[in-house]
Structure 1
Amino acid sequence: MTVLVFGRTGQVATELQRQANVRALDRGKADLADPAACAEAILRYRPAAVINAAAYTAVDQAEGDEGTATMVNGAAPGAMAGACADLGIPFIHLSTDYVFDGSGTAPWSVDAPTGPLGAYGRSKLAGEAAIQAAGGTSVILRTSWVVSAHGSNFVKTMLRLGAERDRLTIVADQVGGPTPAQDIAAACLSIAAQLRADPSKSGTYHFSGAPDVSWADFAREIFRQAGMTCEVVDIPTSAFPTPAKRPSNSRMDCSDTTERFGISRPDWRNALSQIIQEIQDQTP
């Protein structure tokens, strides 16, 4: 099965290239700021399935650049989905917990009311709507707190800061499921294959790591597995203001994904040691 991947150097795109013989397109081959070019690429390569692992992910920057974020996260996925519908092939798109308002403590179900807190979440929700409007065979896979040995993410930041400092203050009132990029990639490939066999599985699904944890407790586990002695001090979100408001509750109900695709929530602690080792091996 020939899979076309939008994105080349991002966390999930890197893992997709490690796990399968995919054709990965960087910005030079398909700029998401040009939705028509993305659709043309699909029609040109005519793959068996398409996975969109690229996005505008600068959450704070999006507050002042919502137009670009919406073009990349909203219009481009819609154009991709339309091209896939024209070819009759599956389209898998990665979305985010940021489409919710982060209230409460219960895990978000796939059909829970959305309510983005900022520009990034609004742009991703626009992408979901555009994909649904395009029709065709597709899965919108919402995920959260992506981590790997590549790109910029919380694990890499903690390892760097933990080596420089004896004590760190970390937000403790935001809770979610860290999700290894390698597991997201494997899920996307499995979903693509299953959609080809059974297009009726199209829809919106959730996929995040388990167990749910606060950023502060996630940092503690990173330091524990890395053998670092950096102390973590809990602070509230209000003590660490950012341009874009983060959801307090990013817990996600992933039961539909398990039921329809046989894909269970991965235990992020199992992948964390591998991620830490790879990052340490890359460090001069």
Structure 2
Amino acid sequence: MQIVDNQSAGRYSISWDGMQANGPQKRRNTTFAFDIGKMKIEADSHFAQGIVAGKADMVLGGMSMREPANAKTPLFAMKDMTLNSTTNDPKNNYTGSSVRWNVADINAKGQHYSPATLEMQMSHLYVPAMRDAIKALQEMQRTRRDVPPQFVFQRMAGVLMPPLQRLVEHKPVLQLTQLHLGTPNGALQGKGEARIEPANGATPSLTTLPEDLVAQLTLNIPGPLAHQIAALALTRQGVPADQLAETSQRYLDRLQSQGLLSQQGNDYSLKLDYRNSTLLVNGRPVWRG
């Protein structure tokens, strides 16, 4: 392990056997039990042009929350979670990073969601701006005692604005490469991207970011899940339970006729676009900033 300017890099492995906690839940006059399974964290990183590059992985065997403590079905439980992150070595003053989060099974009050996966990538990150941001945070850490608590946020914003401005000028890109959530009614899937494309080739800035940002998100929703989501929305509107099946279909049909939802076979798709301070749903403007 090597530490330079409060940044650490090297190889390490940490294992934890987990923990259990239980006791009274006084507010609801009951008991609770909270369990966290075995966890392991490993990293293999190094310094490269003033930033830390390499990879880090975390594995958590599971966790659960029960109330009361002897309940057969947990309020929430999670099994086999992994978190993987990678930062590439800089090349021509730019780097990229990726994060992948995966859970084999999520149990929410007896409803199972499996698997759940989220994968994101960032590219075209300007390394000199990242170094400046790190130095600014380190300087703020050294002088934090000189700043009254009520001014901490303003101080942080002030020291980070210049490096963040430089970062934005070099047009970083964020990609949602995979979104997958298995549900009892099928798997929700999605992909997306956000990038900075100022009009007329102008230099982007933090102040013009709402106008310069271009983003897309596509969601694919299985039919049974779409009906479930529609039924939940209609239930909150007071629709009786015996009318939900028919009313949910009419609700989805109305969204299609309005151009806010499209159907492909038994599934539905939703495409969100943001450009020129305008949000579009399946190509139809629904909000303008």
TM-score, structure 2 as length reference: 0.28
Greater share of residues in strand: 2
Rg larger in structure: 2
1 or 2 for the larger relative contact order (CA 8 Å, sep ≥6)?
1
